[in-house]
Structure 1
Amino acid sequence: MDGIVIAGVASGVGKTVATLAVCRSLQRTGRVVQPAKAGPDFIDPSHHEAATWRASRTLDPWLEGESGMRRNYARGSGDVCVVEGMMGLYDGSTTSRPDVDEMDTSTAKVAESLSLPVVLVVDASAGMESVAATALGFREYAARAGLDLDVAGVLASRAHRGRHEDGVREALPDELTYFGRIPPREDLEIPERHLGLEMGDESPLSAEALDAAADGIRVEKLLDAAREPAWLTAAEEEDDASPRSDDVDDRPTVAVARDDAFRFVYAATRERLRERAEVVTFAPTAGDDLPDCDGVYLPGGYPELHAAELSDSPALSTLADRAADGLPVFGECGGLMALTESLTTVDGDTYEMAGVLPADVTMRERYQALDHVELRGRETALTCPEGRTLRGHEFHYSEADPATDARYAFDVIRGRGIDGERDGLMEYQTLGTYAHVHPESGAFDRFVDAVASATRRCRHI
């Protein structure tokens, strides 16, 4: 699988739209496109999936480690992998701060680790020659930062055809390829709300708009630049040699909430759960009750937008009863919120939630946390043994107010967690945390192991 990274000079230059346009242009040549996203993100990948009909891969060295990130890339399939970057190309880099002891999580580092060329998206709405100067500076900065990075060329965002496009293309030096332009059209703007863009199934770009954007892409130049990483064969062999599933007769059943309130799930998480367990889904906001299961996973999402439906859902009442009986339950961010006593919206309306975890949650106008996180287990919980560390990502607008006697699963090494020092509320065999984790962390394997162990104990009673 050849690959290419679509990176921006900054946030807001149109990377997502450019990525979707590149995917459409490749599809029109008959290629099967595998979308991917650098960094922790659930929203941009939803637009990838809406445009390509294929689940997007998450590629993040903090969440997965470099070897895990490569494995995740290798598990994709298709002719060309199109990786959308995060923020600006070098944002998150530690190369200019050698005294800082932390991992480089920039798009540049992702591209270097995966050995993929970079197509640089530059907002050309108010420039021509300056676009070339900006791109040349980004290319030369790689060497200055000590990165083995190939900035192959430029994709001009919000550029008109004719003199505007010609001015950008003619100003580029020979070492930078002109990959085309994205036209400045209103129907190529994706609406925003808190947590970022609206989801791909809520505000997908129309086929007409994507085709218009794809018309400006020089697809043959992209295909010439894309390449297959040399390490890919070894990663595929390593993945093929790893165990895929447990004994079919001993697989527990895990219920996964999947609806408008619970929708932030990495593709690799779905895959790993299905490898280790029988997965059944349910939709609490649609009135589904909790299905018969041995464990429950509540992903993140938008419970604050569906608090009334959740409050009336039979699933939360059943979940509360079964959690009290020892059913293993794991909730991430939005899942944590649904497991607490109550949820208060920004409008001041308060709704009862499942009441499993001793806390009340209130939504705020501004985000309360946005960072990669690292947690250390205070005591053995569903996803992490005592003393071990777990890496993840947090991004939320809510604030939790736990009871004074609440039990915490983690000390916060990096990030905010629940109170700046601790994260992960525990009660019975239930864990709710603000951190989103990736299966490469081992957290979901430990969760399934805990579910299977609890199931075996019940069978012996």
Structure 2
Amino acid sequence: MIIAGTHSGVGKTSVALAILQQAQRQGIRLAPFKAGPDFLDPFWLAAAAGRPCRQLDAWMQNDAGMRAQLAQSQDPPLIEGVMGLFDGPNGGATAQIACATGLVVALVVDASGMAESIAAIAQGFARHDPDLRFVGVIANRVGGKTHAAILARALQDAGLKLLGWMDAEAPRIPERHLGLAPPARALPPLGAHLHLDEAFWSLCKPARIKAPAQSASRMLQGVRVAVARDAALGFIYQGNLDWLAEEGADIRFFSPLAGEDLPSADALWLPGGYPELFAAELSRSPTLRAIAEAIRGGMPALAECGGMMILGEAIVDADGRGFPMAGVLPARFVMRRRLVALGYRAWPHRGETLRGHEFHYADRQMRAPLPSAFAGIEGDSGVRIHRLWASFQHWWFASAPRFFARLFRGACR
């Protein structure tokens, strides 16, 4: 099932989390997914489901790639949509996922201050694309049982169904400058505020998608890849970890924030995250020195957004306070109070096209020039030094498997 919305901020995440919490209590196994390139909602969805959350993105993955992600689990998928149902490139990111997978769609509507008008809104969404399997509405911010009954009758008169409702007293999820804040504490009890119709669970069915054949190439067989993963650097697509494992890589996690030793490895991946929130702790971490020595010694490395920021000479927060970092790059990274860049990015290279997403509040201020990593790309072209490829982009590895295999093997030039 896809949990879609009329627009951003309507409560898709809260509803999806509440469903996952109820499923956990009832012993129902659901596989969580998030539509679009966002990293933060998946943290919450994974915490509520007690298992990893995977991404579905029609632009980065294409239809075959999305089906491959769905095939990773035999349990019924629960997919939180992105923006409004029909918003995004190519007729709507969430709608495109629904059409490509054949999964049913439940629409979240903010019903605060609304009664019979909910039927007009829901009818418009249900009829806009006849290829969608629209199964009903979940009303959010409902005033109580009487309000819910009015909404249910209005939808029934329009030939639609109220699948459930969430009361207006449900706790809100905290936000941060890149979206929802990652769950630093226990999830709020959203499930206790969601009232589902008995028919709801019967609509949550496994996706009838055949798993694709495994890659026979094993392009990273035996390659040990050290992957930074902690509260400062945690923006990791689960699909990228899946791809590394499928290609034979030996993944070795470590925490720069905790000052852990850099694992014995052949290559290094520094993903994005919130290094600016932990800049003081990172500046004291001995791991940064080990990372710098490894990169200067020729270890192949990919640094994405926040992972690139810890390789500079300093991170400067929005109040002007500077914190020394690894010093591999002759650059300072300065936090801004406004968004610097946002959007999907593509980079054609040797018969493949790298696909990814850029979203950051930091500027890179170079003290000395370096060659571009991804020359000609729209957005940040990044920098190269030693065997390091660094930029503000968050890449989807399976979009260009030969390139990323060469990068982690140290064969990219």
Q: TM-score range by the shorter chain?
A: over 0.9
Residue 41 of structure 2 aligns to a residue in which SS?
helix
The aligned counterpart of 1:217 is 196
Give matches, 1:29-428, under 5 Å: 29-78=26-75, 80-95=76-91, 106-143=93-130, 148-172=131-155, 173=157, 175-186=159-170, 188-200=171-183, 202-206=184-188, 209-214=189-194, 216-218=195-197, 220-230=198-208, 232-233=209-210, 236=211, 238-239=212-213, 241-243=214-216, 245=218, 251-275=222-246, 276-377=248-349, 385=350, 388-414=352-378, 416-417=379-380, 423-428=381-386
1:14 has 2:11 as partner: yes
Q: 2:395 aligns with which of 430, 437, 446?
A: 437
Judge conservation of contact 2:353–2:399 (CA < 8 Å) in 1.
no
Q: CA deviation at 1:24?
A: 2.6
Helix, strand or coil at the partner of 2:59: helix
Matched residue type, 2:238: A
Q: Deviations for 1:310-344, whole angstroms, at most 9, x for unmatched residues?
A: 12211111211221121111111101111122211
CA contact (8 A) 2:302 2:388 kept: yes
Q: C-alpha displacement at 1:160, in angstroms?
A: 2.5
Letter of the structure 1 residue corresponding to residue 10 of structure 2: V
How far does residue 69 in structure 1 lie from its aligned partner after superposition? 1.0
Alignment check: 8 A CA contact 1:332 1:433 kept? yes
Q: Aligned-pair distance for 1:373? A: 1.2
CA distance in 1, matches of 2:122, 2:81: 16
Runs of 4+ in 1 over 4 A off after TM superposition: 227-230, 244-247
CA displacement, residues 75-118 of structure 1 (integer Å, 9 cap, x when unaligned) = 1232x2100001111111434xxxxxxxxx52111111111111
Q: What residue is the counterpart of 1:457 in the other structure?
A: none
Render the CA deviation track for 1:223-268: whole Å, top value 9, x for unaligned: 33344445x12xx1x23x4338569xx6021111111110011112
Q: Give 3-state SS (helix, strand or coil) of 2:86's partner.
A: coil
Shift of 1:375: 2.3
* Contact 1:376–1:411 (CA under 8 A) maintained in structure 2: no
Distance 2:359 2:40 in 1: 12
Name the CA shift for 1:314/1:447 in 2 (closer, same or farther; >3 Å): farther
TM-score normalised according to structure 1 size: 0.84
Counterparts of 2:409 and 2:261, CA distance in 1: 22
Q: 2:245 corresponds to which letter in structure 1? A: R
Aligned-partner residue type, residue 254 of structure 1: V
Aligned length: 409
| Structure 2 gap ranges (5+) | none
Aligned partner letter, 1:402 = M
Query: Given the superposition, is the C-alpha separation of residues 28 and 319 from structure 1 closer, same or farther in structure 2, using an over 3 Å criterion?
Result: closer
Rounded to whole Å, the distance in 1 between the matches of 2:342 and 2:325 is: 24
Tell me the distance in 2 between the aligned counterparts of 1:243 and 1:176: 47
Alpha-carbon displacement from aligned partner over 1:365-394 (angstroms, at most 9, x marks no partner): 0111121111245xxxxxxx5x75311011
Residue 57 of structure 1 contacts residue 76 of structure 1 at CA under 8 Å; is this kept in 2? no
Judging changes above 3 Å, is the alpha-carbon distance between structure 1 residues 140 and 451 closer, same or farther for their aligned structure 2 residues?
closer
What is the alpha-carbon distance in structure 1 between the residues aligned to residue 328 and residue 39 of structure 2?
26
Q: Is the 8 A contact 2:77 2:205 kept in 1?
A: no
**1:312–1:196 Cα change, 3 Å:** same
In structure 1, give the amino acid aligned to 2:37: P
What percent of counterpart residues are identical? 39
Flag the 1:139–1:203 CA change in 2: closer, same or farther, 3 A.
farther
For 1:86, what is the secondary structure of its paired residue?
coil
Q: CA deviation at 1:289?
A: 2.9
SS of the residue aligned with 2:82?
strand
**TM-score normalised by L of structure 2:** 0.93
Describe the shift of the 1:151–1:19 C-alpha distance in structure 2 as closer, same or farther (beyond 3 A).
Answer: same
Indicate how the Cα distance of structure 1 residues 453 and 341 shifts in structure 2: closer, same or farther if over 3 A, else same: closer
Q: Structure 1 residues 407, 453: closer, same or farther in 2, change over 3 A?
A: closer
User: What amino acid does structure 2 have at the position aligned with 1:255?
Assistant: A
Distance in 2, Cα, partners of 1:370 & 1:261? 20
CA distance in 2 between partners of 1:53 and 1:94 (Å) = 33
Partners of 1:312 and 1:337 in 2: CA distance: 15
Per-residue deviation, 1:123: 0.4
Mapped to 1, the partners of 2:325 and 2:159 lie a distance apart of 58
Q: Which secondary structure does the structure 2 equivalent of 1:408 belong to?
A: coil
